[in-house]
């Protein structure tokens, strides 16, 4: 109706005002289209969401890397996912990102590598997460093929360009500014880098130096995302890494490794300081640290309070196996809802 009014009565109003109204309408329609993206006849009602991360958030990107050693598109992964499909999620069911999407009332953002920029599917959000990824580019190199965080940001650049081509620069910018950016990285920088004797970073840097390297790199990466329009960022802090099954087996007593947990606590404090600083310096920035540490520690320390029975070993019983993944020759536990950990690294759907 507004469009009809502009066209019908534009001659009686100043031409510039009419054109401005028309332009605002077109931009508004484009933004509405991005926010009310339709898939299979069902419109989304929540925010456009972009997910960046590692195997805790990967929903299938690594399936497309034929040489990747960080893949989970085989049994027993996905045994509790709808239809029992192994989608490339590194758990028995859904990921944190899947649950967040459900809370927002939107479909889980699809993996970037499953999309065509010629279609409209990417307008509602995209998942760029890749198993093996870290903040540092050297993290995860022995997985051969994966997207590092820098590469994930480059993939987002591709999406942003496609958005501009489809809905225009102004609408794309407003959509990205309003979007939710979920980022979960850092675990691999420790588990598959700093703590590995065959990786150079663990021998090159002290832990204080390593944290400074991580934070300086993350600072550059978040500023790059900000430059591409990101404003609302939820950065997942590290969980108690010393308590995951693959670390517990390195302890003589089978208990959590306190030093590794202290590394996670120190990193989280440094990350929070970085995010707070960005909020103070970058106009419109709303960046926050999601406290994963205390939540996961509660599940580990008091499993029975939260409906679990076991938090010190994995459901798949692969704590000591090379790779620590739930391969087809593994034997998963019967009651998968009773375990906090699915394999040696990843939490279960229930957790």
Instruction: Compute, in degrees rounded to 10, the torsion defined by CA atoms 290, 291, 295, 300.
Output: 120
Of the candidates 293, 177, 180, the one whose C-alpha atom is nearest the C-alpha of residue 236 is 293
Any residues with CB less than 8 A from the CB of 217 and at least 6 apart, and which?
Answer: 135, 136
**Catalytic residue check, 35:** no
* Whole-number Å distance between alpha carbons of 171 and 250: 52
Of residues 54, 68, 72, 346, which has the active-site annotation?
346
Contact 127, 51 (CB under 8 A): yes
Of residues 55, 68, 314, 348, which has the active-site annotation?
55
**Catalytic residue check, 330:** no
First to last CA, the chain: 50
DSSP secondary structure code for residue 337 in this structure = G
The tokens describing 213, both together, are 């390297």
The tokens describing 52, both together, are 């960046």
CA within 13 Å, CB half, 36: 7
**Catalytic residue check, 80:** no
Number of C-beta neighbours around residue 86 at 10 A: 19
- What is the per-residue DSSP string for 135-152? SSTTTTGGG-S---HHHH
Any residues with CB less than 8 A from the CB of 336 and at least 6 apart, and which?
Answer: 79, 80, 92, 315, 342, 348, 349, 350
Per DSSP, the three-state class of 274 is helix
* Whole-number Å distance between alpha carbons of 340 and 194: 25
Of the candidates 99, 94, 97, 98, the one whose C-alpha atom is nearest the C-alpha of residue 83 is 94
Q: What are phi and psi of 159, to 5 degrees?
A: -65, -45
Of residues 58, 80, 201, 343, which has the active-site annotation?
343
Q: Which residues are catalytic?
A: 55, 343, 346
């Amino acid at each position: 109706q507004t469009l009809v009014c502009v066209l019908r009565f534009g001659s009686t109003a100043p031409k510039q005002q009419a054109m401005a109204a028309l332009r605002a309408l077109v931009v508004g329609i484009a933004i509405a289209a991005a926010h009310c993206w339709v898939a299979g006849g069902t419109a989304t009602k929540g925010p456009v969401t972009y997910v960046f991360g590692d195997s805790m958030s990967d929903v299938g990107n690594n399936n497309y890397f034929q040489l990747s050693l960080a893949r989970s598109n085989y049994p027993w992964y996905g045994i509790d996912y709808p239809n029992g499909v192994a989608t490339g999620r590194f758990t028995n069911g859904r990921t944190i990102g899947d649950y967040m999407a459900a809370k927002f009332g939107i479909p889980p953002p699809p993996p970037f590598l499953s999309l065509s920029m010629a279609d409209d599917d990417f307008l509602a959000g995209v998942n760029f997460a890749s198993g093996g990824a870290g903040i540092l580019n050297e993290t995860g190199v022995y997985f051969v093929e994966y997207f590092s965080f820098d590469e994930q940001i480059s993939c987002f650049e591709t999406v942003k360009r496609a958005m501009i081509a489809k809905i225009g620069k102004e609408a794309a910018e407003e959509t990205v500014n309003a979007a939710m950016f979920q980022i979960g990285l850092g675990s691999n920088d420790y588990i598959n880098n700093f703590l590995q004797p065959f990786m150079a970073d663990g021998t090159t840097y002290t832990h204080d130096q390593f944290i400074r390297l991580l934070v300086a790199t993350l600072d550059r990466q978040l500023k790059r995302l900000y430059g591409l329009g990101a404003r609302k960022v939820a950065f997942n802090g590290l969980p108690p890494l010393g308590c995951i099954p693959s670390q517990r087996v390195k302890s003589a007593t089978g208990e959590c490794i306190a030093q590794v947990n202290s590394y996670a606590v120190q990193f989280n404090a440094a990350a929070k300081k970085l995010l707070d600083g960005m909020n103070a310096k970058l106009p419109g920035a709303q960046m926050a640290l999601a406290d994963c540490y205390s939540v996961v520690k509660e599940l580990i320390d008091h499993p029975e309070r939260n409906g679990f029975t076991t938090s010190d070993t994995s459901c798949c019983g692969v704590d000591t196996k090379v790779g620590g993944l739930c391969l087809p020759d593994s034997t998963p536990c019967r009651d998968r809802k009773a375990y906090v950990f699915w394999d040696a690294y990843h939490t279960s759907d229930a957790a």
